[in-house]
Amino acid sequence: MMRNLKKHNIRLIFGLLLITVSNNVIGQVNDTVPDLTAGFQSYRIDLETVLKLAGANNLTIKEFKTKQHLATVDEKIAREWLIPKLFIGASLHNLNGSAMNSDGKFFREVDRNSLWAGAGIGLNWIPGDGIYKVLAAKQNTKAFSYLLQAKKNEAILKAILVFYDLQEKQAEYETLTNLLKYTDRISRQLKIQVDIGQRYRSEYLLARSNYFNTWVALQEVIKNIHRISAELTEVLTIEDEDVLLLSSTNDLVPAELLDEQMITAELFDTAYSRRPELKYHQYLIEAQKFDQKRLTKGLLLPQLSLSLADGRVGPFSGVPNNSPTDFTNRYENTFEFYAVVGWSIPLDVLISGGQRKKADALIQLYQNRQHQQKILIKKEISQALSDYRESKNQLQIAKKSSQFAEEALEQSTERQKLGMAKPFEVFQAQEIYLKTMISYQTVVKNYNKSQYRLYVAMGNDL
């Protein structure tokens, strides 16, 4: 009996030595995981880089920058009504046949011609039209500047949200990678214990099944990382092919963008006064009101037409009228001045009023759109505020849960090494740990995204 006991102790000691050795070398033998960057040029970026690229390269932002520039050009064109027109050149006039004189008499067999060459300046000022067009164009320029800011916030926010989705999947990739290596070590330890008769083969097979199941889950996460990276590449307008964008860090940490002091009772009123979308609609309304005044008050202002011309005039063939032989005074100087001040009253505006009615209808249309935008903003703020507070409450709970699961997994692992824990207990601890870690990462992602959504909804610019 003593001999059998000694044999059993020798086998146990030998088994423990094998386990100890395996703990030191297994991680070096098989720490391979699915390659995340295979076939791609990977670039690590951080949130600051995303903010810069989204604001600089986004095609939507570039489009609205062009529209703002066009509005600025339209304003310059509207101001050009004050600039007179210059003209320079020559005119030829020839008359053959009959002509009527100023006294009403007709002259027959007339053959006369004249040449004028010189320069002049002329202007036609309609202040009631020009002034209000400039004011309307000025409001349109301001409107498009706020529309550009709104689209910029929208584009950058979208890039931020996609970036946090990418960070979440990278954190999940890191968690699964560590779990895969851990699961492989456990299964190899069980294989040694099976070989020395301390474990059932079914326990080892279950461990290998858990290992390959983790591998499949890891490959699914890699696929999602590539999908989100492609989406981020599109949002940032990066045209290089085979580019894989990755976060510069695999750790998904809670952002601290907002504090409770920013969330006051006047939150909605403050947002209404700051949101660029509402300012855009307001300036469109103001522009239309100035166009409406052009059709009413603008008619009260008189118009001014002025023309000045100076040049040389005379016949372009034949001889001068004053002397059949003297050609020294063939061309003589002539100066013209023409000025008119008065009112031009379009009767269609006064009688039918079609243009005024159109202006009124456009103002009502813009006011309705502004009201719709206000309702949408209220909904955005309410949803973002609710998401922010819920995710903030979940954050501490999820963090504690992941810490407990991690500690439980460590203890189960130690007990399994000593043969005091069943394999299924370790696998169960692994499963709980994985679920809690992924849940925590999702909560952090939602917490960060809700902060940025609320930040923009409150009227802040990115």
pLDDT in tens, 131-182: 888 888 899 999 989 998 998 898 899 999 999 999 999 998 988 888 888 7
Query: If pLDDT is split at 50, 70 and 90, which confidence band does 318 have?
Result: low
User: Which three-class secondary structure state does DSSP give residue 322?
Assistant: coil
DSSP H or E stretch at residue 170: helix 127-195
pLDDT in tens, 47-94: 888 888 887 666 777 777 787 777 788 778 877 777 788 888 888 888
What sign does the dihedral 214-215-216-222 (CA atoms) show? Answer: positive
pLDDT in tens, 232-265: 998 888 877 788 889 888 778 888 888 777 777 7
| Token representation of residue 119 | 């320069």
Distance CA 412, CA 44 (A): 36
Nearest to 203 by CA among 8, 430, 435, 426: 426
Does the pLDDT value for residue 408 go beyond 70?
yes
Q: What is the mean pLDDT of the chain?
A: 80
What sign does the dihedral 261-265-270-275 (CA atoms) show? Answer: positive
Nearest to 304 by CA among 131, 121, 125: 125
Q: What are the residues whose beta carbons fall under 8 Å from the beta carbon of 189, sequence distance 6 or more?
A: 19, 22, 23, 26, 416, 417
Does the pLDDT value for residue 367 go beyond 70?
yes
Distance CA 85, CA 117 (A): 17
**Between 406 and 307, whose confidence is greater?**
307
Residue keyed to tokens 């700051």: 274
Q: At residue 427, what is the residue type?
A: F
Query: If pLDDT is split at 50, 70 and 90, which confidence band does 26 have?
Result: very low
313 DSSP β-pair partners: 116, 332
Residue keyed to tokens 């009413």: 296
Q: At residue 232, what is the residue type?
A: L
pLDDT at 372: 94
| Token representation of residue 239 | 């045209």
| Token representation of residue 451 | 């902060």
Does the pLDDT value for residue 15 go beyond 50?
no
**Contact, 262 vs 118, CB < 8 A?**
no
CB-count burial class (<10 Å; 0-12, 13-18, 19+) for 280: buried
Distance CA 414, CA 434 (A): 18
Does the pLDDT value for residue 125 go beyond 60?
yes
Longest Cα pair distance anywhere in the chain, in angstroms?
159
